[in-house]
């Protein structure tokens, strides 16, 4: 339905369907109601209410109030001092625009986005004073140079004038045109469109995939954390892509692209329409495409693009592996799987490891020798550990690349060492619980030492391997001839095993001391041995 006002002060209410309401002249009150309405206040100081639905409202001439209500609405203030309230929904609020014509002299408007995610379009191309505008906290009213206020709006398109403006975006995508003057434009968050236009501008993309253009003047552009597009346009510009894969176009003038690393950290090569500069560091500056950039500024100095291109591309070093026994020497050629896309010969400049138990030697031609230290002798058969070394290769132009050499060290069984023992006992005594392995040792951490066998061919006493692996020795009646204080010697050998095929032998010497016959006969008196070492005698008298 189309509702027309008169030349007077009219009140027009929509039908509930999608209406077109035209106030024409006078101070009108126009209510769209539900559904999607189009409302035009015409001349006069009008009050326009969209109600529910997706409404399009224009205040026209005069000081108008526009309330979007529910739904996604478009509110255009046009001329006069207007108040725009988006209400619920994602609304589009425009101040300083009349149809297809940008207004150069519009009134003092108040824009309130209300609930939802709202967008305001602000035209201040005629502004001569500087504008300070910051959307990071949408609950704070931001004012333009003419007093227009904006609050609860999450995204703006702001076209500024001739002042030195400082414009900061919010959590959604924003568009800033700085106009004339030395402006600071900061997108802050999301993907923004930031154009400095005239003047020497500072433009910061922040987070998101941003598009930055300097326009006229000597500008400084910084992309931020994502994949940005930077255009210096005219003038001598400084362009910093930052993290992400950026497109940097210097435009006319002597332009410089800035990078955080040293020259050796980057690979460079030509493509049809420019140059690709790739950061070889993880989490560095990414891979950028450069067009019409004259100089490159690195942490270790600034060079011309021509100088950087003369270096060629960096080599590509691949990871290598080598396996070596704890007793052996491992060898590998770390250049065998590396490549250089320029066809240059590569050389090894360093092979280093933080592991102090790894000995490394290398030749420039790529041969690396790995020798495990004594600490790895503790590895037993079937055991292994993995350690690593860092390899640096270089081409003739000083371009370098890093790779990792993974070293697997395998264990081998080492023979145990058996140590001789000496014990002393009385002629009527018995040694039992003898643990001859207490002073034996094995370099392998997983070794289990035990007595594997005995050689008692010339032994006068009786030697037995007990169930718990210890030994017992009984001189029996062989030394009853000894007088008190008189001594004799008996001996036997044992074979030690580590449980993995390693063996060793040692001898046991037993000193027998004669004693007087005790009152009451020849009973046996036993003392359990708990620890014996070579050279330590224990005397047991019967």
Mean pLDDT of the chain: 88
Sheet holding 400-410, edge to edge: 320-325, 400-410, 384-394, 347-352
Per-residue confidence (pLDDT) for residue 51, from 0 to 100: 85
Q: Average pLDDT, stretch 111-117?
A: 80
Stretch (H or E) spanning 309: helix 305-310
> Mean of the pLDDT values across residues 516-528?
46
- Which is nearest to 122 in space by CA: 105, 100, 97? 97
109 vs 74: CA distance, rounded Å: 15
The pLDDT assigned to 257 comes to 98
What is the 3-state composition of the chain as percent helix, strand, coil, each rounded to the nearest 5? 5, 40, 55
Sketch the domain layout of the chain as residue ranges. Answer: 1-116, 124-260, 320-410, 421-528
> Exposed, middle or buried by CB within 10 Å (0-12, 13-18, 19+), for 474?
middle
Range 421-528: architecture per CATH: Sandwich (2.60)
Is 2.60.40.10 the CATH classification of the domain at 320-410?
Answer: yes
pLDDT in tens, 409-461: 999 999 999 999 999 999 999 999 999 999 999 998 888 999 999 999 999 99
d(C-alpha 305, C-alpha 276), whole Å:
11
Strands 367-372 and 295-298: unpaired
CB contact set of 301 (below 8 Å; sequence gap of 6+): 263
State the average pLDDT over residues 211-216.
Answer: 97
Residue 408 has pLDDT above 90, yes or no: yes
Mean pLDDT of 220-234: 96
The stretch 81-101 carries a mean pLDDT of 68
pLDDT the model gives residue 341: 86
Reported as a pLDDT band with limits 50, 70 and 90, residue 61 is: confident
pLDDT tens-digit series, residues 280-310: 899 999 999 999 999 999 999 999 999 888 8
Looking at residue 375, what is its pLDDT? 94
Spatial distance between the Cα atoms of 48 and 31, rounded to a whole number of angstroms: 6
Residue 353: burial class (beta carbons within 10 Å; 0-12, 13-18, 19+) = middle
Could you tell me which of 282, 274, 290, 206 has the C-alpha nearest to residue 242? 206
pLDDT of 276 over the 80 cut:
yes
What is the tens place of the pLDDT at every residue in 326-341? 999 999 999 999 999 8
Cβ 94 vs Cβ 79: under 8 Å: no
Put simply, whether the predicted model's pTM sits higher than 0.85 gets the answer: no
The least confident of 80-94, 143-157, 223-237, 384-398 is: 80-94
> Do the domains 320-410 and 421-528 sit in the same CATH topology, yes or no?
yes
């Amino acid at each position: 339905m189309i509702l027309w006002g008169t030349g007077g002060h009219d009140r027009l209410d929509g039908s509930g369907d999608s209406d077109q309401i035209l106030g024409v002249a006078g101070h009108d009150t126009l209510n769209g109601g539900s559904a999607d309405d189009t409302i035009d206040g015409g001349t006069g100081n009008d009050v326009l209410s969209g109600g529910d639905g997706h409404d399009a409202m224009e205040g026209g001439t005069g000081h108008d109030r526009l309330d979007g209500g529910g739904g996604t609405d478009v509110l255009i203030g046009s001329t006069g001092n207007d108040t725009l309230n988006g209400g619920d929904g994602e609304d589009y609020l425009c101040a300083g625009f009349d149809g297809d014509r940008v207004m150069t002299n519009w009134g003092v408007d108040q824009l309130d986005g209300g609930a939802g995610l709202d967008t305001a379009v602000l035209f201040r191309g005629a502004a001569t004073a500087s504008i300070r505008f910051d959307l990071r906290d949408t609950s704070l009213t931001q004012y333009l140079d003419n007093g227009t206020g904006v609050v609860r709006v999450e995204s703006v398109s702001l076209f500024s004038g001739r002042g030195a403006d400082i414009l900061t975006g919010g959590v959604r995508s924003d568009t800033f045109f700085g106009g004339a003057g030395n402006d600071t434009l900061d997108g802050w968050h999301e993907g923004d469109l930031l154009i400095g236009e005239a003047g020497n501008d500072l433009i910061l993309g922040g987070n998101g995939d941003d598009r930055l253009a300097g326009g006229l003047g000597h500008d400084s552009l910084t992309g931020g954390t994502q994949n940005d597009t930077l255009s210096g346009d005219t003038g001598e510009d400084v362009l910093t892509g930052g993290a992400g894969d950026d497109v940097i176009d210097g435009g006319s003038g002597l332009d410089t692209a800035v990078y955080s690393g040293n020259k050796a950290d980057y690979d460079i090569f030509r493509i049809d329409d420019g140059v690709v500069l790739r950061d070889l560091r993880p989490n560095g500056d990414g891979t950028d495409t450069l067009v019409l950039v004259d100089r490159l500024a690195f942490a270790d100095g600034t060079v011309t693009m021509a100088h950087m291109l003369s270096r060629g591309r960096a080599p590509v070093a691949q990871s290598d592996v080598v396996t070596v026994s704890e007793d052996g020497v491992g060898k590998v050629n770390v250049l065998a799987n590396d490549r250089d896309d320029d066809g240059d010969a590569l050389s090894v400049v360093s092979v280093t490891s933080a592991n102090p138990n790894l000995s490394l030697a290398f030749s420039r031609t790529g041969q690396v020798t790995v020798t495990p230290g004594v600490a790895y002798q503790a590895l037993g058969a079937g055991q292994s550990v993995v350690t690593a070394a860092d390899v640096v290769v270089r081409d003739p132009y000083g371009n370098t690349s890093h790779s990792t050499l993974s070293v697997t060290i395998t264990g081998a069984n080492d023979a145990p060492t058996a140590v001789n023992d000496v014990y002393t006992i009385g002629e009527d005594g018995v040694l039992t619980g003898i643990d001859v392995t207490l002073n034996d040792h094995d370099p392998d951490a997983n070794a289990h030492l035990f007595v594997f066998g005995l050689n008692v061919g010339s032994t006068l006493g009786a030697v037995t391997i007990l169930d718990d692996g210890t030994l017992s020795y009984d001189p029996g009646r062989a030394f009853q001839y000894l007088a008190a204080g008189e001594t004799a010697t008996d001996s036997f050998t044992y074979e030690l095993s580590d449980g993995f095929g390693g063996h060793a032998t040692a001898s046991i010497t037993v000193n027998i001391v004669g004693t007087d016959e005790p009152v009451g006969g020849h009973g046996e008196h036993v003392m359990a041995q708990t620890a014996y070492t070579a050279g330590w005698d224990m005397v047991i008298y019967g």
